[in-house]
Chain A
């Protein structure tokens, strides 16, 4: 008689990177191993200021389960984080605070703007609201929606994973990247 418990037998493991394999050893590209490790263990910093933050809470909770992507460890210390998720309206007065949090993160770091307000100011086209966080920091992924559904946030997160996977180890030393940062006044 089969057991009444359904085992979860659809677990997907991260694929093995290309390489030369033999008995007891494997030789591959160091960059691929590092990318694989980084991609599947992103530590997010939720910078939630309004309703998009509520959607993120659902995303992180059991039903949508952000932990499936190796991101269950929310950190509220920017020093330990790889990805800052900006969720909600950022006022102009909050701008320097957000920037300070970003500066405190260690490289490599990624930024995701969740929702219309963080991406463009949203409906708050007004004197007191920052018209998109890309005015103060370089953004990697924008998630549209007001607020976005948890599926959209997950989709954005998977886009970040793709970026992390594809990013070479030397990218952060490139002139292009330095130019991008200096255009935001970050050394």
Chain B
């Protein structure tokens, strides 16, 4: 029998119980929220289980929700079961004041660059990452540009400060 969202949800609920919440399936893609400390345990379970076999990390990134106090940063994992061609996604929420998240680099080598990128743009501190430094932005950058308190426009220029440019 082919793997389906219901089977994945059932197996995860059996294993983790109430610690996983907010089950949804937007556009047919199973999505849930895990507790912050559980991210690697969930990934490992999805990887190791002989039926689930989610062994490919498609994407890993963050989202900033400034209005959610205490859990401003969401780290989102997309994993793919290449055998049954099923994708799922889960999120963990962390406090922006202390954005510590366990690294997935031990499980997925590909998480190395993705976590560096997430650190670069959102400042998520991946605990245990072998080389957590900026990857895409200039090394001298002293802020995390994708956080919503920073405007998109370059703040260093002085020649565009009139009303013509909507500032």
Contact = CB atoms under 8 A, between A and B. Distances in A.
B148 interface: no
Interface size class of A (residues with CB under 8 A): 10 to 19
A121 B137 contact: no
Contact of A127 (B152, B159, B160, B165): B152
B152 A121 contact: no
A125 interface: yes
Contacts of A68: none
Contacts, number: 34
B154 A126 contact: yes
B68 interface: no
Contacts of A93: 136-138
A128 B137 contact: yes
A85 interface: no
Interface residues of B, number: 15
A5 to B, nearest CB: 54
Per DSSP, chain B at the interface is loop
A131 B153 CA distance: 10
A121 B157 CA distance: 10
A129 B154 contact: yes
Interface in B118-167: 136-138, 141, 145, 150, 152-157, 159-160, 165
A121 B145 CA distance: 18
A67 B153 CA distance: 40
Contacts of B145: 127-128
A125 B154 contact: yes
Contacts of A126: 152-154
Contacts of B156: 131
Nearest to B140: A92
A125 B165 CA distance: 10
A125 B154 CA distance: 6
B154 A121 contact: yes
Interface string A154-171: 000000000000000000
Interface of B: 136-138, 141, 145, 150, 152-157, 159-160, 165
Interface of A: 92-93, 120-121, 125-129, 131
5 contacts: A92-B138, A93-B138, A125-B153, A125-B157, A129-B154
